[in-house]
Copies of this chain bind each other. A is one copy, B any other.
């Protein structure tokens, strides 16, 4: 095997990719904090939560020693650097540009790969690996959104396949690892994830929400008909329109 595929190189490459993700998410946290009346330390804390939160949640759930973000001294300064850059310069226009979208998609995919890999390495099975891969990728952003007072974006109808891509990539990584091809899993996961996310952004692919979904079971059709009959009796109910939409 080529020298650049030795375990040491792979491990060093993954660490650099991981830190690039920490920087990008620390920066994104700072950008989202703009205009919300946060102070300098507020930016810093939001950046740290954005950049390190997903990995910390994963490590706490794995119960496998203190989080990497606390024991590897590169993580915290890199997250802080990202948020401080967003504090110093208003980058709100830049982060909706193509370069940032590509970086964000790659980081999302890479974190899913890394989370799935670490879960398998801790001796857990494929199902927690898929779940914690996704958690690693989207957990920090979810806690950041909560701290900023909004419902986490990953839950909402309208964001083009963000957590879905993380779930898909974790699945790819788990399958490749089970087949003994972890290195291929890293490359394939990041490649497929980045591609799917960018295509979803471009084509505005979103998952269905509860109003788009039309239930088709006989049971439900029956229930609907009962509803309609009932509604004719009590005209003017406030949430009457929702099951129709």
Contacts and interface: CB of A to CB of B under 8 A. Distances in A.
A149 B147 contact: no
Interface string A100-135: 000000000000000000000010110110011000
B215 A88 contact: yes
B154 A45 contact: yes
Interface stretch (A2-10, A183-191, A195-203, A217-225): A217-225
Given A61-B56, A127-B76, A219-B89, A210 B157 contact: no
A33 B208 CA distance: 14
Interface in A56-81: 56, 60-67, 70-71, 73, 76
Given A73-B127, A150-B149, A210-B34, A42 B89 contact: no
A234 interface: no
A212 to B, nearest CB: 9
A34 B213 CA distance: 12
Nearest to A59: B63
A207 B155 contact: no
Contacts of A228: none
